Amino acid sequence: MRNGINISNHDVTIQDNILFKIKKIIITKKDRIGIVAMNGTGKTTFLKNIKAHNTFDTINSNWDIKMLDQLPTHENLSGGEIVKKELEKVFNSTADCVLLDEPTSNLDSKNIKWLINKISETDKAVVIVSHDRNFLNKTVNKILYIEDEYLQVYIGNYDEYEEEMNKKYEKDLNLYKKQQYKKKKIEQEIIKKKNISKNLQKIKKGVSSSDWKDSRVTGGYESKEKSIAKQAKSLEKRISREFNFKKTYIQKDIKIQATGNLSLKKGTTLYNLNKVQIRNKDNSILNLNNLKIEFGDHIGIIGDNGSGKTTILEYLYSQNIRDCEEIYVYDNVSVGYFDQLLKQSNNNYTVLDIVSENSEQDKQVIFDTLGSLSINKDDMFKRYENLSGGQKVRVNIAKVLLGNHHLLLLDEPNNYLDIYAIKALESYLKNYPSTFILVSHDETLVKNTCEKIFILENNKLIDARKNSRYSNNNTDIQKSFLKDLAIINGESKEMEDLNQYIKKKL
């Protein structure tokens, strides 16, 4: 019987830079492992290390290991079929272990269910990198995650892991607040003692010549001043010793301002389509009957690959619909469209310039939105042309989200995002005051953000509320904490709030 995969004291590196470390992990036949971490932290590199285990002294295995690499997203409509064929190959092979890197990215709902069944039926060990929470919940029994530069193991599915992390977060945040409060008190005590010491020095300088001769007087002042100064010094050392803790991350809602086109009266009709026919890419005819889009609607469209979801978005965005007399379109309706194609004419502009160009949101909202999509402060000031492909897509998402639009058309915006950025997007869309239509195969994202869900099936849009297969109640879905991450620093709103909290306590 083969022994599995044994990883001990292994460093995952790129060009001699350590991304994270592994003390000990054992992978056995019964394991269904999900790996979750932010983009760029080394998940794919780790899978490649396992595949190439013979080249590492720190990874021991006599298993046959197969890996399904990520496919580039420009494979378009054929991407799903390519992925399925490759998946069939690895599952039908003699491999003992299968490594899957974002296997659901090009799969529609039907094929995702097919893959879930494959994983549950196989006798192979399976290791998965995925940002699809629903998929992870239905397939894995262990979660690997990075904490303090080490790969950690949690026994359970994704929802159970997230619940545990939320508890840990609350505990860490409460500890941080207590530390901040205690530190502030000690700092005030230092200031108080330093002021006393300075006042004693002034008193000593003001002693008369006759009193100066009395060593008891000057000695008393000098000894008190030295004692107080020593106490202040001791407290400063205590701060550097006891409060040398790492930065704490805080969950923060992005507060989108309902200004400009985002301030239209809720319920205002933007589009009214009745008995409209449009041609799909395969020349079939799509029928749109009684599709009414009102300001404030949060709409999701789901369906198989090639069913025409993107065609509908393109039609709503096109000039053709505005020129059609049979269709009602709100005067001067402004529409933002994210379609994953890197269409950006201002390549020489910085990220901030591009995102701010058509936005009426304040700078803090823009910074927070970019940060939640893993665009850091340094990247915000880079020229668009100098970004990676993935960064460009995330900037395009931010540009559309922050735009001054009555309606957003979002075509698979989650494909380039890690789980943490997807949660931030989810939070943003839930709080979005305007209108959006979301096309996505991410079941959790759609159900947690959309009040109306349509199924595109047999060339028709069907209201999911009238279809028993899709009418399950949203309250039955595990709710994520729906927060984006922001590092606490001296300029953040969280620190201001914390200072107010301390002032009330003092």
| Region for residue 102 given its phi and psi (left: phi exceeds 0; alpha: psi -120 to 50; beta: otherwise) | left
Predicted confidence (pLDDT) at residue 144 exceeds the cutoff of 80? yes
75-84, 123-132, 469-478: range with highest mean pLDDT: 123-132
At 454, the amino acid letter reads F
In sequence order, the 6+-apart residues with CB closer than 8 A to the CB of 49 are 10, 12, 56, 59
- 494-503 long-range Cβ contacts below 8 angstroms, 24+ apart: 494/250, 494/252, 498/177, 498/180, 501/177, 501/181, 502/180, 502/181, 502/184
Q: Is 80 helix (H, G, I), strand (E, B) or coil?
A: helix
Architecture of domain 4-156: 3-Layer(aba) Sandwich (3.40)
What confidence category does residue 476 fall into, taking pLDDT thresholds of 50, 70 and 90?
A: very low
Q: Is 16 exposed, middle or buried (0-12, 13-18, 19+ CB in 10 A)?
A: exposed
pLDDT at position 246 is 58
Q: Which two tokens stand for residue 400?
A: 């559309």
What confidence category does residue 262 fall into, taking pLDDT thresholds of 50, 70 and 90?
A: very high
In sequence order, the 6+-apart residues with CB closer than 8 A to the CB of 389 are 342
Class of domain 268-341+399-494: alpha beta
93-102, 223-232, 246-255, 285-294: range with highest mean pLDDT: 93-102
At 65, the amino acid letter reads I
> β-pairing, 125-129 with 32-36?
parallel
pLDDT at position 197 is 74
| Region for residue 260 given its phi and psi (left: phi exceeds 0; alpha: psi -120 to 50; beta: otherwise) | left
Q: Which of 234-248, 275-289, 435-449, 483-497 has the lowest mean pLDDT?
A: 483-497
Give the residue-averaged pLDDT of 68-81.
Answer: 60
CA–CA separation, 466 vs 461, rounded Å?
11
pLDDT > 70: percent of the chain: 79
What confidence category does residue 488 fall into, taking pLDDT thresholds of 50, 70 and 90?
A: very low
CA–CA separation, 342 vs 350, rounded Å?
15
Give the residue-averaged pLDDT of 363-375.
Answer: 91
34-54 tens-digit pLDDT = 999 988 899 999 999 999 999
Q: Which two tokens stand for residue 214?
A: 């009395």
CA–CA separation, 400 vs 67, rounded Å?
35
At 193, the amino acid letter reads K
- 218 or 53, which is more confident? 53
Predicted confidence (pLDDT) at residue 103 exceeds the cutoff of 90? yes
pLDDT > 90: percent of the chain: 50
Give the residue-averaged pLDDT of 173-198.
Answer: 81
Per-chain mean pLDDT for the chain: 83
